Amino acid sequence: MLLGIGIGFLSRKKELKWIRPIITSLIWILLFLLGIEVGCNRRIIEGLHTLGLEAIVLSIGSTIGSILFAWLLWRFIGKRD
């Protein structure tokens, strides 16, 4: 990771158009492998109904919290003008 940061820092003035498709492909491969790993885990598959409910609650809560704090930040910044 540090090597990647260093290379990125040294080549920040160059336009690396070819790197974006590589990163996207690697992310898709990692997500696919993660799906295989989850699908092979019997405990996760058997508890999917409870995990799904927890995931929905966490998703809704984090979305509402993000909207609320973004709105508060917008109001705070707006009052400073």
Buried b (16+ CB within 10 A) or exposed e, 44-69: eeeeeeeeeeeeeeeeeeeeeeeeee
Over residues 5-42, the pLDDT tens digits come to: 998 899 888 888 888 899 999 999 999 999 999 889 98
pLDDT band at 80 (very low <50, low <70, confident <90, very high): low
CB 51 within 8 A of CB 44: yes
